[in-house]
């Protein structure tokens, strides 16, 4: 296609006949004025031979990156003529820009920067390459050729909190998180709300590690929480293996996040929240390839969830009573139908300040701007 366009652009038009062959007046009368032929501009993101995916960690992390890598595999299966370019362990800095530039040189016209901190580098590269489409995972800034997508995973995090509330005997839950970004704070609040719906005396003890994946810090945080009497631990980290295995060795229950890691905790697994990006990634790529992306929801801040299949509740562990499982499945149906909304007020923060008034249901955009921790959470937000 590109070769044909180049030939068309470079073809020399035939020379006009000498003026002496016909009178000038006849020529003017006989020759209609023709509008210049204008090539239709190619839709943004089309014409590439590859699709790029950037991950902040490895594809075998039992977590965030593993879920994204599985989505890339689905894109490869759906578009077998496209080369899938994948880069693991890409930092959230200018190195991400370098990786994206390399992918573009290798033929990528569609790039998925999948980590929260890849957004600003992607915006910079997008300015330099207006013919390339960038799809960022979890951000809220857009550009002419950059859209974002994410899911309302707080729905299943709330349900996981309900399960934890049933299973905890000490009424102390642990939450190991990376950074105090809105989606992390939102999940802490959702989990705590779910647990306190079962036992209003439950507390969630939060530890910030300032890293998406540092096994040493994760083990230290897990052991610290266990020493404080926590008997259920969950997390918002990219790699989940160390925390779950450490909890399992100490007889502490686990709630997973990002991917199904139940195999790591055969005795202590409760449930968790799972990303399934396979259909969404393929749908987004299809919209770019058929030229409809620019006018689609995917060119803005697109959000999906349980109803669309991108967010799922993980399988229950063998020690979760059937009655608890049934209760949570029924509650999920109420969330899907709109009968129940986890963040309907009144909800107060750690200082007793009302953040959501009685009867008010915040929009997804408002929830994604969360900058506080609710009543029942133990720990302060790092400044």
Sheet of strand 311-313: strand arrangement: 311-313, 269-275, 253-258, 232-236, 172-177, 203-208, 377-378
Q: How far apart are CA 66 and CA 261, in angstroms?
A: 11
Over residues 66-110, the pLDDT tens digits come to 999 999 999 999 999 999 999 999 999 999 999 999 999 999 999
Over residues 326-370, the pLDDT tens digits come to 999 999 999 999 999 999 999 999 999 999 999 999 999 999 999
**278-291 average pLDDT score:** 98
Domain ranges across the chain: 50-151+277-304, 154-275+319-378
User: How do beta strands 133-137 and 146-151 pair?
Assistant: parallel
DSSP string for 222-247: HHHHHHTT--EEEEE-S--HHHHHHH
- DSSP 3-state assignment of 340? coil
Nearby residues of 80 by Cβ (< 8 Å), 6 or more positions away: none
Class of domain 50-151+277-304: alpha beta
**300-315 average pLDDT score:** 96
What are residue 108's DSSP bridge partners?
50
Enter the pTM of the model.
Answer: 0.86
**What is the architecture, at CATH level 2, of domain 154-275+319-378?**
3-Layer(aba) Sandwich (3.40)
Opening angle at CA 83, ends 82 and 85, nearest 5: 135
Q: How far apart are CA 191 and CA 321, in angstroms?
A: 19
Domains 50-151+277-304 and 154-275+319-378 share a fold: yes
Is the separation of the CB atoms in 111 and 134 below 8 Å? yes
The DSSP H or E segment spanning 209 is: none
φ/ψ bin of 352: left (φ > 0), alpha (ψ from -120 to 50), beta (otherwise): left
Over residues 15-64, the pLDDT tens digits come to 333 333 333 333 333 344 454 544 456 899 999 999 999 999 999 999 99
Q: How far apart are CA 74 and CA 68, in angstroms?
A: 10
By C-alpha distance, which of 165, 161, 217 is closest to 190? 161
């Amino acid at each position: 296609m590109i070769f044909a366009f180049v030939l068309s652009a470079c073809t020399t038009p035939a020379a006009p006949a000498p003026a002496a062959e016909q009178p000038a007046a006849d020529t003017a009368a006989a020759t209609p004025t023709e509008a210049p032929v204008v090539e239709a501009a190619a839709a943004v993101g089309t014409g590439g031979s590859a699709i790029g995916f950037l991950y902040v960690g490895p594809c075998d992390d039992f977590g965030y990156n593993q879920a994204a890598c599985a989505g890339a595999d689905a894109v490869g299966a759906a578009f077998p003529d496209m080369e899938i370019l994948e880069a693991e362990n890409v930092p959230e800095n200018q190195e991400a820009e370098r990786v994206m530039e390399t992918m573009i040189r290798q033929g990528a016209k569609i790039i998925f920067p999948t980590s929260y901190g890849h957004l600003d580098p992607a915006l910079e590269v997008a300015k330099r390459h207006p013919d390339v489409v960038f799809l960022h995972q979890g951000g809220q800034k857009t550009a002419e050729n950059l859209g974002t997508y994410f899911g309302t995973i707080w729905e299943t995090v709330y349900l996981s909190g309900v399960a934890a509330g049933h299973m905890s005997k000490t009424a102390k839950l642990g939450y190991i998180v990376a950074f105090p970004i809105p989606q992390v704070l939102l999940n802490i609040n959702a989990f705590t709300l779910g647990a306190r719906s079962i036992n209003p005396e439950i507390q969630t003890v939060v530890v910030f590690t300032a890293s998406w994946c540092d096994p040493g810090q994760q083990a230290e945080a897990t052991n610290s929480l266990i020493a404080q009497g926590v008997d259920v631990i969950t997390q918002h980290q990219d790699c989940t293996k160390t925390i779950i295995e450490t909890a399992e060795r100490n007889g502490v229950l686990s709630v997973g996040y990002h991917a199904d890691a139940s195999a790591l905790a055969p005795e202590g697994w409760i449930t968790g929240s799972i990303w399934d990006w396979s259909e969404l990634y393929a749908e987004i790529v299809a919209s770019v390839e058929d030229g409809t992306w620019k006018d689609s929801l995917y060119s803005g801040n697109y959000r999906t969830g349980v109803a669309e299949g991108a967010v799922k509740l993980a399988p229950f562990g063998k020690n979760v009573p059937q009655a608890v499982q049934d209760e949570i499945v029924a509650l999920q149906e109420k969330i899907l139908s709109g009968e129940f909304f986890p963040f309907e007020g009144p909800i107060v923060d750690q200082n007793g300040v009302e953040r959501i008034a009685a009867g008010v249901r915040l929009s997804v955009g408002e929830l994604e701007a969360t900058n506080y921790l609710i009543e029942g959470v133990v720990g302060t937000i790092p400044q």
